[in-house]
Amino acid sequence: MVMGGGAIGVLGFMGFRLASHFLPRPPRKVLVKEKVLPAPGGVKVGDGYFLVRLSGGQLLVLSRRCPHLGCTVNYQPSQNIFLCPCHQSRFALNGAYLSGPAPRGLYELRWEKTESGLILEIPG
């Protein structure tokens, strides 16, 4: 059987799409202006991240991706914890594991302070 150039091109494209599905994606960079950083004891909920200012003033940047199966974790201000809606894993404000099926606490994200604010790296 002889394949034309079009069929080879389609197969090549499909192979590329399949391969790119398994390749790691580069992290997304997010700028957070200094003026929106939380006060001590406060939490800012972002797209893929939590910014936490601990009562001692230390700033933490945590991933919202649950370490169990990857659901998006929410902040529960009434209990001052992070809660995963999928299987109810609970995490302390410093990201530490409290309960549920998650095998560990929330992941800390890379960030750097610049003149414009904080630049966060959100994994792809």
CA separation for the pair 72, 10 (Å, rounded): 36
Q: Is 68 in the site for ligand FES (CB under 6 A)?
A: yes
Segments in the chain forming alpha helices (H): 5-22
H or E, element range at 29 = strand 28-32
Minimum separation from the CB atom of position 59 to ligand FES (A): 24
Question: Do residues 70 and 63 lie in contact, with contact meaning Cβ atoms separated by under 8 Å?
Answer: no
Binding-residue total with ligand FES (CB under 6 A):
11
Q: Would you give the binding string for ligand FES spanning residues 28-67, x where CB under 6 A is met?
A: --------------------------------------x-
Binding region for ligand FES (CB under 6 A) = 66, 68-69, 71, 84, 86-87, 89, 100-102
